Amino acid sequence: MMKKVQVIDKETIKPSSPTPPHLRIFNLSLIDQYIVTAYIPFILFYTPNTEIDHNELNNARDRYKKNYLDRLKASLSETLTLYYQLAGRFSENIEIICDDGGVDVLNARVSSPLSEVLNRAEPETLSELIPCDYYQHRDNALVVVQFNVFECGGIAVGVCFSHKAGDALSLSMFLTTWASISRGSSPVLRPELHGVSTQFPPSLDVPLAMHVERRTERLVSKRFVFNAFMISSLKSKAPLPYQAIRSRVLPVIVLLWKTLMAADKQKHGHQRPSYVGIGVNLRTKLEHPISRVSFGNLVLIAPALATDENDDLVEQLAMGVGTIDSEYARRLLSKDGYSKMIDMFGEYEEQFSRGEIDRYGMTSLCRFPFYEVDFGWGKPVWLNFPGFEEKNLIVLMDTQCGKGVEAWVTLEEDAMVLFQSKLTSMLQLSSNL
């Protein structure tokens, strides 16, 4: 178990150059407006890159603080000149006031070695390494950072990134730029900041920003790791048309969905229809090209529905993802685009609230270059998104080698017990076939 995390000090980092007056108002996009006010919590873990004598641990931590934290803060200041809106503050649900308010950086010490965290990745301990939680929106700040130094010299960089400011790919872009500046590498990734709000201008018809309500039920998050051998085995047992699919994520999604349906069937005594919302990157779906480095929220939820665990789940997923196309984007831009968005999911949400169907959210962050984020002391040995306290949420990420998939699953406590039991049975059945 990780020991006490102690915050030593805090500093507000502002852009190295003031934001020009003509850029002081940054419009949100229509999609940004739909997003709830919550943080994306994220941690990057780095092992020490020098041999440290145990008698010099305190001196070593001070040295890491001076050399690495100073570099982190200086490069963040430069990065905020490129992502100047992240140093601002939200105004209602339509714009960001780019007043150079800055980003808070907390400096913390951890009274345990990094190995204890890597060996026992419990969500309740990982949450101490980030400066805020999922529900909190600290002083309306868009980004908050916590720099954690372990007693062995290992480092964890915890970031809370406002989901209303951008999606996970936007977070990846921000970290990539920041890391490049920190280690003095070039070229530096420069984001396209206004492409999203130009194509999807904000609307006064969208209600005020919605805040995520803290859950009262007991939720449990668990990590499940699928290595390359397990994924290959899952593919080999799939129907012939799907065995040639190169994706390592799809077999995992299908397995998890099938397992969730089986667990729900056991819990309720009958099979309920199961609805899954899959995050789809709109950057590749638009009729008019948009830069791949467009910053903001460009992810929409694709609906997939199955009535039985023996349904062709691959086909259902493909049909759902297929609904997110350039025509859908065009409707979204229409005068009543907001109501169309609500209507798309309204029926499913009403059925879920009545207990007639089961509902899950799945998002894949695989192939995002998070494992390439090197601030100058090496690439991360592990990363995760802790503290997503959202019921029935599954987040998929790469393993460090890039050949496996990690799944972080959040369920109610009793549902998690059933899910783990069913998953064990299905994996055993797959390996024995």
Active-site annotation, residues? 163, 374
Q: Are strands 155-162 and 143-150 parallel, antiparallel or unpaired?
A: antiparallel
Residue 47 gets which letter from DSSP?
-
What letter would DSSP give residue 22? G
Q: By CB neighbour count within 10 A (0-12 exposed, 13-18 middle, 19+ buried), where does 225 fall? A: exposed
Q: Is the dihedral of CA 376, 377, 382, 386 positive or negative?
A: negative
Q: Look at residues 248, 295, 244, 264 and name the one whose alpha carbon lies nearest to residue 396.
A: 248
CB burial readout 391-402, b (16+ within 10 A) else e: ebbbbbbbbeee
Rounded Cα distance between 228 and 315, Å, is: 23
Residue 141 is given by DSSP the state B
The Cα–Cα gap between 276 and 253 comes to: 10
Task: Convert 157-184 to b/e letters by CB count within 10 Å (16 or more is b).
Answer: bbbbbbbbbbbbbbbbbbbbbbbbbbee
CA-based nearest residue to 148, from 73, 69, 78, 79? 69
Instruction: Classify residue 218 as exposed, middle or buried by CB count within 10 Å of its CB (0-12, 13-18, 19+).
Output: exposed
Q: At a CB cut-off of 8 Å and minimum separation 6, what does 119 contact?
A: none
Report the C-alpha gap between 405 and 169 in whole angstroms.
Answer: 18
Strands laid side by side in the 393-398 sheet: 219-226, 405-412, 393-398, 358-364, 274-281, 299-306
Q: Is 210 exposed, middle or buried (0-12, 13-18, 19+ CB in 10 A)?
A: middle
Residue type, 291: S
Pairwise CA distance, residues 398 & 400, whole Å: 6
